[in-house]
Chains A and B, each alone.
Chain A
Amino acid sequence: MEAYLSFAKGPLFRLSLAVLILGLARIFLLDIFAAWQAWRRAGDKTIPWKLVISRGLEWLFPVKRIFNNRPLYSVFSILFHIGLLVVPIFLYAHVRLWENALGFGWPTLPYEVAYWLTVSTIVFAVLLLLGRLLSPRSSFLSRKQDYLWPLLLLVPFVTGFICAHTAVAPATYQFFMLVHILAAELIFILIPFSKIAHCVLMPLSQMICTLAWKFPPETDDAVCTTLNKKGAPV
């Protein structure tokens, strides 16, 4: 068990972290590159920055529109995201881990706060899952990954909670710790290839939409040529 644990904490952790960072960097840069290319091709190169930024901020700090639709679900989602982001990054034990992997650390969460944030994340993940299952609209739209993600995200939170806040036998502790770490690593590896990629792409959405409406000139001719429709009547 010891050996597994240290393997999971060491090489495997570094590997999954590398996949996460490189994977996210890849899609982020791909998006930026596509945006730059679109801008270069566009006939009209002006971008309404004020609109793009204010609409972008509306969703990065979602207060303005949150009560318009599915208010309960939306509030759950926000609270869930807070725990989801804060706990893995600022938990005392994690910061030590980050320090090991990255060579530098940062301030950590007080024990009490970490406790309640973990609980709230677990509760809100379950509520979100229920919200998806019980809303006919949501379940109609949902794909497999939409159900699996909350479940998968629950694993490290539940196991982490057990390890940190309950008195279990050392062997059990080690088992849960291993599951905890492996689940987190699986999550890291999957993020760049799933909808969770929104964690880096979201700030770009408004700019992408704006640029998508910036059409390149002379496409009538180009499309006609490609489709062999030159001179065809309307």
Chain B
Amino acid sequence: MKTRPITPEERQRAFKPTKKPEVVEKQKLDVRYHVEDYDVTNRPRRFLEAFAAILKHSNYQMALDHFIRMSAKCSRCATTCQVYQATGDPKDIPCYRSELLMGVYRRYFTMGGVLRGHIGDDDYLTDDKIMEMAESFWNCTACRRCSLECPSGIDHGLITHLGRYILSEIGISPRALVVSTREQLEGATGNTSAIPVPALADTLEFLQDDMLEEKGVVIKFPIDVEGVEYAFFPAVSDFLMEAETLMGVAAVFTATGDSWTIGTGYYDGINYGLFYSDRILERVVKKIDAETRRLKANKVLIGECGHASRSAKYFLPAYCGGKDAYPVINIMEYTHRAWKEGRLKFDPDVITEKVSYHDPCNIARQRWIIDQPRDLLKAICRNYIEMTPSGEDNICCGGGGGTVSIDEIRPYRTTVGGKLKADQIREAGCKILVAPCANCKKQLRELVEDQGIDCEVVGLHDLLYKAIIFDESLKVKSPDENKEESQ
């Protein structure tokens, strides 16, 4: 699928400066996202020091060595990238983006490059180059769609990830992400949305009352129950913005009767470390491990969130014990399995609108979760349609890689990053778009709003909540019914 480059008016909107000239001057950084004040001196030297330190303690060097030998510069990746398609700027070609960092690597960390440096161009890595990287690596949503089309197998998502990590070590990272992470790791509430435990408890109680009223069933959010099967970690923002999704999850567990709990020690699945720093990634993953341990739960269950699922699934084993780490599953996997086992029933006639499904990059690109949500949707929607491309080839919502949390770049996200997705949604003509991911949902809602598309964006469990059929034995009898029975 292809889209046209943006118009001059759209360009103006997307690239409007977000910062005062004084700030740009002081921070020596002309990028759209806000950055906390940092040490602007000696940036190239500090960049290289950070790069060296990271290479020493990671596996990136292997990949960089491989990529610099492989790169064919064929430009097949160009038109895969939704950003390049929208801007038409050759600097947004994935291979060019990656070359920014690979060039630095080649020049300073390979023998040939170092020798060449001695002969001539010693100031390869300049302040300008750092600024270009700071801009480019945050234009990319790290969706990794381009990597599928690269015959050389270059993983641009990995390079973007590494580039951002190095930049973060010299103080260049989006303020929005850093501030949230600081609260999560060092703040009083310990989560990215700064929700204190009493507020959490209030919210859940309120939702329980709602569900009792709507469904006539006691649906609980178990809190701090030890020894359960599943310790539950949704994107914490769901507690504020995605009540329906959480209600769906609770309803599913009530119907299956399996044990699960939300721990008040830590209840946030979000891990911005995946987007800008492996050090942060490790710290946040360890919080999940610690809380699961405290709750004596058997498994980690992640809510509807792509990056939260990926960071737990792939990095809990990395940082917390390899094959002895807690197994991680995503809520859609759980629900799908229970439904397959015949432990869940849904009404196939509740949802009549045209429904389609958006694959979050972080769970679909590696072919992890693709069919499960579709099976469930086909069971509850009479009018389900598929968007193409989808599955492992899905098109990014345009807010991936943490960019959705950077509010000041919304115009960019909804005009440039999300343009291809907007075209795809328009073409599909769905009235409900299911996006089982906190990030995708936020971005897609802003996208349909800014692009004027008539489509509602919801989570999978929002719809399951509507369609779920409870066993009669779970229904709370109203006083009248009780009377009838006793007569």
A residues at B contact (CB < 8 Å): 27, 30-31, 34-35, 37-38, 41-46, 48, 51, 55-56, 59, 62, 65, 68-70, 73-74, 77, 135-138, 140-143, 146, 195, 197-198, 201-202, 204-206, 208-209, 211-220, 222-224, 226-227, 233-234
Contact = CB atoms under 8 A, between A and B. Distances in A.
Report, nearest first, the 8 A-B pairs whose CB atoms are least far apart.
A205-B153, A44-B317, A212-B63, A43-B318, A34-B62, A38-B59, A226-B53, A222-B57
Contacts of B407: none
Interface residues of B, number: 64
A224 B93 contact: no
A96 to B, nearest CB: 33
A37 B62 CA distance: 9
Nearest to B50: A227
B62 A202 contact: no
B199 to A, nearest CB: 23
Most chain B beta-carbon contacts within 10 A, residue among A41, A48, A201, A224: A201
Given A135-B75, A138-B75, A43 B186 contact: no
Contacts of A74: 76
B283 A220 contact: yes
A70 B158 contact: no
Given A140-B96, A214-B318, A226-B53, A209 B153 contact: yes
B62 A215 contact: no
A30 B178 CA distance: 38
B185 A234 contact: yes
A220 B279 contact: yes
A224 B317 CA distance: 22
Contact of A226 (B57, B151, B321, B322): B57
Interface of B: 49-50, 53-54, 56-63, 65-66, 69-80, 90, 93, 95-96, 99, 147-149, 151-155, 158, 169, 178, 181-182, 185-186, 278-283, 314-315, 317-323, 325, 366-367
Contact of A195 (B69, B283, B325): B69
Contact of A215 (B181, B182, B315, B323): B315
B69 A227 contact: no
A208 B49 CA distance: 25
B319 A217 contact: yes
A230 B476 CA distance: 56
A34 B70 CA distance: 15
Given A218-B319, A219-B282, 13 more contacts: A30-B65, A34-B61, A34-B62, A59-B151, A70-B75, A141-B73, A141-B90, A195-B71, A202-B151, A205-B152, A209-B147, A220-B283, A226-B57
Given A68-B80, A212-B158, A234-B185, A198 B69 contact: yes
A234 B186 contact: yes
Nearest to A192: B69
A65 B148 contact: yes
Given A31-B66, A197-B69, A202-B70, A213 B314 contact: yes
A140 B89 CA distance: 11
B366 A48 contact: yes
B66 A208 contact: yes
B41 to A, nearest CB: 16
21 contacts: A30-B65, A31-B65, A34-B65, A35-B62, A38-B62, A43-B319, A44-B314, A44-B323, A44-B325, A46-B323, A69-B79, A140-B75, A142-B73, A195-B72, A208-B66, A208-B153, A215-B319, A219-B57, A220-B278, A223-B169, A227-B169
Contacts of A65: 148-149
B76 to A, nearest CB: 5
Contacts of A70: 74-76, 79
B78 to A, nearest CB: 5
Given A27-B69, A198-B70, A213-B314, A141 B75 contact: yes
A198 to B, nearest CB: 5
Contact of B76 (A69, A146, A201): A69
Contacts of A223: 53-54, 57, 169, 278-279
A51 B93 CA distance: 26
Contacts of A34: 61-62, 65-66
A219 B76 contact: no
B283 A198 contact: no
A46 B63 contact: no
A56 B147 CA distance: 12
Contacts of B96: 140-141
